[in-house]
Amino acid sequence: QNRTDVLTDEEQATIRELSAMHARATLLKSALTDARVHLRNCELEQRKVRDKLANQRYYERFGVMPPTYEESQKMKDKTMEEKEDDEFAMQMIKQSQGEGPGV
């Protein structure tokens, strides 16, 4: 009789062992994912605390809270506009004095 369709005790034990290893690997992978998420949350919380401390030091030094990101962007844009206006004004002055391009 051909026994190709029947597994030996050793083969069945190997299958059970592999199945248990697979289950442990799945649990470990899940735990690793949870740990990564927790680490990311801790990093975000640490950044918040660090930013809060930096804002507090700024306040203690200058007596006002530092500008928000949006406020600093507006100031940056305004500074660029003023710089462009100044450059344009200097070109107009040079042109009126006969120095610049367009003369």
pLDDT > 60? residue 2: no
* pLDDT greater than 90 at residue 34: yes
- Give the tens place of pLDDT for each residue, 36-53: 999 999 999 999 999 999
- What Cα–Cα distance (Å) separates residue 72 from each residue in 5, 52, 84? 75, 17, 18
Structure confidence by residue, pLDDT tens digits, 76-102:
888 888 888 888 988 989 988 886 565
